[in-house]
Amino acid sequence: MCHQLAYSLPEDNQYVGIFVNITKSQADQEKLARLRAQTVAQAQELLQHQITMAQQISRFLGESAARGEKLVENLMNMASEGAGESTAEEDWRSGTYTSK
Given a contact cutoff of 8 angstroms between Cβ atoms, the answer to whether 8 and 14 are in contact is yes
Percent of the chain with pLDDT over 70: 82
Q: What residues does each domain of the chain span?
A: 2-78
Cα distances (Å, whole numbers) of residue 37 to 22, 23, 56: 23, 21, 29
- Tell me which DSSP letter residue 82 carries: S
The pTM score is 0.50
Query: Positive or negative, the Cα torsion across 63, 65, 68, 72?
Result: negative
Q: Tell me the average pLDDT across 61-84.
A: 89
Q: How confident is the model at residue 76 (pLDDT cuts 50, 70, 90)?
A: very high
Instruction: With a cut of 60, say whether residue 89 has pLDDT above it.
Output: no
Instruction: Note the pLDDT of residue 63.
Output: 95
In this prediction, residues 46-74 reach a mean pLDDT of 95
- Give the tens place of pLDDT for each residue, 21-44: 888 888 888 999 999 999 999 999
The helix/strand/coil state of 99 is coil
Comparing 6 with 90, which gets the higher pLDDT?
6
